[in-house]
């Protein structure tokens, strides 16, 4: 959902020029001709002193706590670089791990990335198989790097419709979620087999089933309850959303959560995304954040119901108790399913 008329227009930034009259060192994040270094989820810093100096300047202002990325442009990058699509997707993963390190250094504590849309299943079978095999490899690599994840305090969450995934992938992501769930320094949400419409449908179905089973009454249903049944229920709304490749749309990503999110669009392809693009997005956020705070306050005031009168206080208290028990039940069921999937016994 794009910002309303009360908010600023989303930023759209052309790609940075790559021409130069004299040789210069490559910018942090510039894609290399070959991917010779081993893939990793946890990188060491590649920033120069001037990057760190600019980060300190930006940190004098508000830094977005939660940033979402639509990582678009891998296939166009492959065509541009005259390489196979699979190599383009691999380059996209390398850029993801690099960008995660930059976010940590900037002070961004939560990142959500659109890794694989349910709509991507409509691509050719060969490309879908390539993406699934890449996912298998990367999730296995994530498990192999558990010590690094614990050392950095990174919590991994995989949001999406897991029923659409192969059993071995489900097992890997369940293990990753369980292994890192107690980490608190930083959070990475990977939207995999995800669309916002599917997420909202899942939330409504969960609540409707509870009403049908007698766990909830129809009057218990509210916007807050539906929000707490989304895949993203443990996350705050994103402060900033960045999309690469020049497309100016959300592609069914975090529609429920982005009503007051600052949006930044750049024409740069995702594998060519650099620290300069990230810092530019943060600077844009700092310039327009106050306008979106006004939008958020207006939405919160509009969603607030009338104050309860004396005769309604008992009913309101009972409703809160029912909702609380229901949410605890949902959490227990999800925990048990995660454990079964990690053990390989929860596969349908």
The candidate with the shortest Cα–Cα distance to 143, out of 94, 176, 97, is: 176
Query: Is it the case that residue 305 has pLDDT exceeding 70?
Result: no
Model confidence band, residue 317 (pLDDT cutoffs 50, 70, 90) = confident
Query: Is it the case that residue 30 has pLDDT exceeding 80?
Result: no
pLDDT at 223: 94
The candidate with the shortest Cα–Cα distance to 285, out of 118, 162, 107, 133, is: 107
User: Which tens digits make up the pLDDT trace of 157-192?
Assistant: 999 999 999 999 999 999 999 999 999 999 999 999
Model confidence band, residue 295 (pLDDT cutoffs 50, 70, 90) = confident
Query: Is it the case that residue 214 has pLDDT exceeding 80?
Result: yes
Contact present, 266 and 272 (Cβ < 8 Å):
no
Measured between alpha carbons, how far is residue 201 from residues 70, 194, 207, 219 in Å? 21, 12, 10, 19
User: Which tens digits make up the pLDDT trace of 87-136?
Assistant: 999 999 999 999 999 999 999 999 999 999 999 999 999 999 999 999 99
CA distance 79 to 91: 13
Average pLDDT over residues 233-257: 96
The candidate with the shortest Cα–Cα distance to 276, out of 104, 99, 112, is: 99
Query: Is it the case that residue 5 has pLDDT exceeding 70?
Result: no
pLDDT at 22: 37
Contact present, 68 and 240 (Cβ < 8 Å):
yes
CA distance 237 to 65: 10
Of 33-42, 305-314, 333-342, where does mean pLDDT reach its minimum?
A: 305-314
CA distance 93 to 199: 24
Query: Is it the case that residue 216 has pLDDT exceeding 70?
Result: yes
CA distance 345 to 336: 11
The candidate with the shortest Cα–Cα distance to 252, out of 312, 318, 326, 200, is: 200
User: Which tens digits make up the pLDDT trace of 72-84?
Assistant: 999 999 999 999 9
Model confidence band, residue 14 (pLDDT cutoffs 50, 70, 90) = low
pLDDT at 309: 47
User: Across the chain, what does the average pLDDT equal?
Assistant: 87
Q: Which CATH class is domain 62-195+239-300?
A: alpha beta
pTM (two decimals): 0.86
The candidate with the shortest Cα–Cα distance to 312, out of 222, 226, 219, is: 219
CA distance 159 to 188: 10
């Amino acid at each position: 959902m794009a910002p309303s008329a009360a908010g600023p227009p989303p930023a759209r930034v052309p790609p940075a020029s790559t021409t130069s009259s004299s040789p210069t060192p490559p910018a942090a994040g510039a894609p290399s001709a070959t991917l010779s270094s081993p893939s990793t989820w946890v990188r060491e810093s590649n920033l120069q002193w001037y990057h760190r100096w600019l980060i300190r300047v930006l940190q004098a202002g508000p830094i977005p706590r939660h940033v979402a990325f639509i990582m678009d442009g891998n296939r166009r990058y492959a065509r541009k670089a005259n390489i196979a699509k699979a190599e383009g997707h691999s380059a996209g993963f390398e850029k993801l791990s690099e960008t995660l390190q930059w976010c940590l250094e900037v002070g961004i504590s939560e990142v959500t990335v659109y890794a694989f849309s349910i709509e991507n299943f409509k691509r050719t079978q060969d490309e879908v198989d390539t993406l699934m095999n890449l996912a298998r490899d990367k999730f296995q690599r994530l498990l192999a790097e558990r010590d690094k994840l614990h050392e950095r305090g990174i919590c991994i969450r995989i949001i999406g419709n897991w029923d659409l995934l192969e059993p071995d992938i489900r097992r890997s992501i369940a293990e990753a979620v369980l292994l890192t769930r107690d980490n608190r320094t930083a959070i990475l949400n990977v939207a995999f087999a995800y669309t916002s419409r599917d997420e909202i449908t899942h939330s409504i179905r969960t609540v409707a089933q509870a009403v049908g089973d007698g766990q909830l009454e129809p009057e218990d249903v509210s916007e807050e309850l539906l929000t707490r049944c989304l895949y993203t229920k443990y996350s705050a709304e994103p402060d900033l959303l960045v999309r690469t490749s020049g497309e100016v749309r959300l592609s069914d990503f975090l529609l429920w959560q982005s009503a007051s999110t600052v949006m930044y669009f750049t024409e740069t392809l995702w594998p060519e995304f650099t620290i300069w693009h990230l810092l530019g997005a943060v600077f844009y956020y700092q310039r327009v954040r106050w306008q979106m705070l006004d939008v958020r306050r207006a939405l919160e005031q509009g969603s607030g119901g009338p104050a309860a009168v004396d005769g309604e206080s008992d009913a309101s208290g009972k409703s809160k108790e029912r909702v609380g028990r229901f949410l605890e039940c949902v959490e227990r069921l999800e925990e048990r399913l995660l454990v079964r999937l990690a053990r390989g016994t929860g596969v349908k």
